[in-house]
Amino acid sequence: MNKEYLGEFEELVLTMVGILQEEAYGNALVNEIDKRVGRKVNLSAVHVTLYRLEDKGYVKSYMGGATNARGGRRKRIFQVTNAGLAMLRARKEQQLQLWKLIPQLKIVGA
């Protein structure tokens, strides 16, 4: 698979990981996505996407500390890597440039 490629859902999850910072773990991401974009997503889908992003090197993960909540199970916290950040930035640039190329919008914006 092309490493430069990022799927729509992957991009969403990656962005959310960036937003949540220290609190970016599976269940929190599900709730955050629901809150911010109103999309009900499945926990397993988020997990799978996170692992895929980790494979691609856009996020890294570490195990958080144990708490009394969630039956004492530790959280796997995800962090956006530099590569991930660069990727997000590149996507934003790309989208902006493409945006500018749409003629009608150019006229309205001018």
Partner 1 sequence: MKPIDPPQFPFRMLKWFCPDNLYESIEGDLLEKFDEDVELVGLSKAKRNLFWNSINFFRPGIILRNTFTLHLINTIMIGNYIKVASRNILKRKMYSFINAFGLSVGIAFCVLIFLFIEDEKSFDQFHANKNLIYRLEEKSYDSWQHLNPKDPYLRSAYLMKPLMQAVKDELPEVTYATRYNSGGYAAVKYGDKIFSEKNITFVDADFFKMFSFRMIAGNPDKIFKSKLEAAITPAIAQKYFGEESPLGKTLHIDLEGEKDFIVTAIVEAPPANSSLNFDILLPQENTAYYQNHLNQWGNFNTPTFVQLVPGANLVTFKSNLDKLLQKHMGDKLEKWRKEAVTPVPADVKLLELEFSQLPEWHLKKEIGWDKVSDPQYSMILGGIALLILIIASINYVSLALTTSASRKTEVGIRKVAGAQKKQLVWQFTIESVVLALLSMCIGIGLVFMFLNPFNEFTGKSISISFANVAPMLLVSFVLTVFIGLLAGSYPALFLSGFNPSSVLKGTFTSKVNAGFTKPLVVVQFALSAFLIMSSLIMYRQMKFVTTKDLGYNQAQILVVPAQAGFGPESNTLVERFRNRLQQEPSVMSVAGTGISFAQGYSRYGYKINGEQKAAYVYPVDAYYLTTLEARLEQGRNFDARIAADSNAIIVNEALVRDMKWKEPLNEYLNYNEDSVGRGAKVIGVVKDYHFLSLEKNIEPMFLSMNKNLGYLTTMLVKVTPGDIPTKVEKLRGVWKELQPDKPFEYSFLDEDVARQYMVYQRWMNIMQLSTGFAILISCLGLFGLSGINALNRTKEMGIRKVMGANVHTIFILLNRPFVWLALIAFVVAAPISWFVMNRWLKDFQYKITIGWELFAASMLIGALVALLTVSYHAFKTAWLNPAETLKNE
Distance CA 84, CA 53 (A): 9
> Which range binds partner 1 by CB under 8 A, 11-19, 69-77, 87-95, 100-108?
69-77
Torsion (CA) 31, 37, 42, 43 in degrees, nearest 10 = -40
57 binds partner 1 per the rule CB under 8 A: no
Residue 76's Cβ-count burial label (10 Å; 0-12, 13-18, 19+) is middle
Distance CA 94, CA 50 (A): 23
- Smallest distance, partner 1 to C-beta of residue 101, A: 35
- Closest to partner 1 by CB, 1 vs 107, is 1
- Smallest distance, partner 1 to C-beta of residue 40, A: 12
Q: Binding pattern to partner 1, positions 23-42, x when CB under 8 A?
A: --xxx--x-----------x
Considering only residues 19, 37, 43, 96, which one is a binding residue for partner 1 as defined by CB under 8 A? 43
Q: Which residues bind partner 1 (CB under 8 A)?
A: 25-27, 30, 42-45, 47-48, 51-52, 63, 69-71, 73-76
